Amino acid sequence: MVNLKIKQIKQELSYEILVIPAVVLFTIFSVLPLLGGLFLSFTDWDGLSFNFKFVGIENYINAFTVSDVFLISFEHTLFIAAVTTILFTILAIPLAVILDSKIPFTKFFRAAFFFPSVPSALVVGYMWSFMLSSSSYGFVNTILGNFGISPINWTGDPTLAFLSIIVVQLWGWTGWHAVIYIANLQSIPTEYYEAAKIDGANIIQSFKYVTLPLLTPAMSMSILFSITGAMKIYDIVYALTGGGPGTSTYVVVQAILKEGINLGKYGMANAASIVLFLVILVITLIQQKVMSRREEGMT
C-alpha cells in the first residue's frame, strides 16, 4: 500500500520535472518583481541601503499628493484609454462589416488595415513625428499648405498633441480590432439575416437587431484589449510627443520610469506601479465576469 503510494508520487514527480524551468523563470521575472514591488511600496527603501522601515500607505499618499506627476499621468492615460476605446468600437465595426462583404480584394484590404499594428510602436511613433512635423518636410502640413493653411505645430499644443496620439493609435490599431470583429461576423449564420429580411427588416434594422447583439463577444474582447493596451501605452507617446509639451501628455509608464529609475523615488514609483496593476486587474476581472455571465445567459 505504502509502496504503491510512493510509486505514484514518483511517477507524478517524473512529470513535474518538465515544469521546473518555466516555474523558475516565471517566478524570477514576473512573480518576484510583483511581490517585491508590492512589498517595497510600503517601505521607505531608497534603492541603495538595506536599512528601511515600513511606512504604511505613505508612498501611495505621497505619489498622488507631493507632486501632480502621477495624478496627471493617470488622468492622461485614462483619457486616451476612454477616447480610443470609443473610437475603435465606432470605426472597427463598420470597417469589419465592409471587409466581410463581397467587395473585391478583401484579402489585400484586410492585410493593409492590419499591417500598421505589426511594426514596433516606437518606430511608428517616430514615423508619425515626421509626418506631423511643422518643418517644410512635414507631410500633413505640406498637404494642408496646398489648401492655403499655414503650418500647424501638431505636437506643440496640449490639445493637438493628444489629438495626434489618438489619431496615430487609430491609424495603428483600427484594422487590428476590425479583424477580431470579422472573425465574429463570420460566425453569424446567414439564416438570421434571411429571417430578418422575411420579417421586413431593412439594412439598418437587421444590423441593429441581428448583427450588433451577436457581436458582443468580439466587442468585449476588443474593448478589453483597447483599455488595457492604452493603460500600458508608452512607446508611441515617447516617440511622438515625449510627454510634452511640458508634461501635458505624460503617461503612467513614463512617469513610473522617470520617478523610479531616473530620480530614484522607488517608493512612490512602486506605489504608482501597483495602482496601475490594480487598475488593469480590475478591468480584466470585470470583463471576465461580464463574459461569463453572458455565456450563462446564452445557454
Chain residues 271-290 in contact with another protein, contact rule CB under 8 A: 273-274, 276-277, 280-281, 284
CB of 192 to another protein, least distance (A): 10
Tell me: does residue 183 bind another protein (CB under 8 A).
yes
Q: Which is nearer to another protein, 131 or 161 (CB)?
A: 131
Identify which of 287, 114, 117 has the alpha carbon closest to the alpha carbon of residue 216: 287
Residue in 150, 186, 198, 299 binding another protein, rule: CB under 8 A? 186
Tell me: does residue 292 bind another protein (CB under 8 A).
no
Most distant CA pair in the chain: distance in Å? 91
CB of 257 to another protein, least distance (A): 7
d(CA 126, CA 164): 12
| Selected range binding another protein among 49-57, 80-88, 151-159, 190-198, rule: CB under 8 A | 190-198
Residue in 221, 244, 248, 258 binding another protein, rule: CB under 8 A? 221
Give burial (CB, 10 Å; 0-12/13-18/19+) of 54: exposed
d(CA 92, CA 225): 13
CB of 25 to another protein, least distance (A): 4
Tell me: does residue 21 bind another protein (CB under 8 A).
yes
Interaction with another protein in 111-140: which residues (CB under 8 A)? Answer: 111-116, 118-123, 126-128, 130-131, 135-139
Tell me: does residue 6 bind another protein (CB under 8 A).
no
Instruction: Spell out the residues 6+ positions from residue 214 whose beta carbon is closer than 8 angstroms to its own.
Output: 184, 188, 192
Q: Evaluate whether 90 touches 82 at the Cβ level (below 8 Å).
A: no
Q: Evaluate whether 156 touches 138 at the Cβ level (below 8 Å).
A: no
Residue in 79, 87, 153, 229 binding another protein, rule: CB under 8 A? 229
Q: What is the CA radius of gyration of the chain?
A: 25
Q: What is the contact mask toward another protein in residues 65 to 104, using x (rule: CB under 8 A)? A: ------------------------------x-xxxxxxxx
Q: Which is nearer to another protein, 61 or 123 (CB)?
A: 123
Tell me: does residue 52 bind another protein (CB under 8 A).
no
Tell me: does residue 195 bind another protein (CB under 8 A).
no
Instruction: Spell out the residues 6+ positions from residue 16 whose beta carbon is closer than 8 angstroms to its own.
Output: none
Tell me: does residue 262 bind another protein (CB under 8 A).
no
Tell me: does residue 178 bind another protein (CB under 8 A).
no
Tell me: does residue 244 bind another protein (CB under 8 A).
no
Interface size with another protein, residues (CB under 8 A): 106
